[in-house]
């Protein structure tokens, strides 16, 4: 692992604050099951249900604060895609950065390092030194694309693990008009 992390938590949102209510999202139990299937083959990857235990919108700052209070000596890193940094308004981003060892922002297709630097400069963060930009190889794939393809009945091969694709088919997830 490029960052040398002991473990990586994958944390499904209860209520993503940046998603519209009309978006075709699977319910939280299905999303958790798909995460478990997706990370099962890597002993350093884990599903965390921490956000599902809280009511209301899921904000990263609240999640990191809860993780930190449960493991006060842990060195925490928050990994986000460049698209999240560029598109969303973050709740209490400086407070979030103040709690972390580092926020790692990885490039995504359509967002290069210069754009990320400019965005960070524009945010005027007191804890800017805690943001680490990391260029990674990638391809243009998003959860929205996966949901759209599933709704159309298109193949998801090489986009999600076979076990996740089978699970989605078994439960008919992301079909047009569904909100399972």
What single string gives the DSSP state of each residue in 136-175?
----S--HHHHHHHHHHT---TTTS-HHHHHHHHHHTTT-
Is 157 inside any structural domain? yes
- In terms of phi and psi (left: phi > 0; alpha: psi -120 to 50; beta: otherwise), the region of 57 is beta
Which residue pairs from 65-68 have beta carbons closer than 8 angstroms and sit at least 24 positions apart in sequence?
65/99, 67/9, 68/99
- What whole-number distance in Å separates Cα of residue 123 and Cα of residue 125? 6
Instruction: Confirm whether 1 is domain-assigned.
Output: no
Classify residue 76: in a domain, yes or no: yes
Q: Which residues of 89-120 are buried (b: 16+ CB within 10 A; e: fewer)?
A: ebeebeebbebbebbbbbbbeebeeeebeeeb
- Whether 176 is in a domain gets the answer no
Q: List the one residue out of 111, 67, 64 whose CA is nearest residue 88.
A: 111
For residue 17, give both structure tokens.
């604050």
pLDDT in tens, the chain (180 residues): 578 899 999 999 887 777 654 455 688 899 999 999 999 999 999 999 999 988 888 899 999 999 999 999 999 999 998 888 888 888 999 999 998 889 999 888 788 888 889 999 998 899 999 999 998 877 677 788 898 898 888 889 889 999 999 999 899 898 754 444
Residue 178 lies in a domain: no
pTM (predicted TM-score): 0.83
- Residue 65 falls within a domain, yes or no? yes
Helices (H) and strands (E) in the chain — how many of each?
7, 5
Residue 41 lies in a domain: yes
Domain annotation covers residue 180: no
Domain that holds residue 24: 8-171
pLDDT at 180: 45
What's the pLDDT at 50?
95
Q: How many domains does the chain have?
A: 1
Gap between the Cα atoms of 57 and 28, Å rounded: 13
For position 69, which CATH number holds? 3.40.50.620
């Amino acid at each position: 692992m490029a960052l040398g992390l002991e473990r990586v938590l994958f944390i499904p949102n209860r209520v993503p604050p940046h998603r519209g209510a009309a978006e075709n999202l699977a319910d939280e139990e299905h999303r958790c099951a798909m995460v478990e299937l997706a990370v099962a083959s890597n002993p350093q990857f884990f599903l965390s249900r921490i956000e599902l235990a809280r009511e209301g919108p899921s904000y990263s700052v609240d999640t990191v604060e809860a993780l930190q209070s449960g493991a006060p000596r842990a060195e925490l890193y928050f990994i986000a895609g460049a698209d999240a940094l560029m598109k969303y308004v973050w709740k209490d981003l400086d407070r979030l950065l103040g709690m972390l060892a580092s926020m790692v922002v990885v490039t995504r297709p359509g967002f290069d390092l210069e754009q990320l630097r400019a965005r960070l400069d524009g945010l005027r963060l007191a804890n800017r030194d805690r943001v680490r930009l990391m260029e990674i190889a990638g391809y243009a794939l998003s959860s929205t694309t996966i949901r759209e393809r599933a709704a159309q009945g298109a193949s998801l091969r090489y986009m999600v693990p076979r076990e996740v694709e089978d699970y989605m088919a078994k439960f008919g997830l992301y079909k047009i008009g569904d909100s399972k």
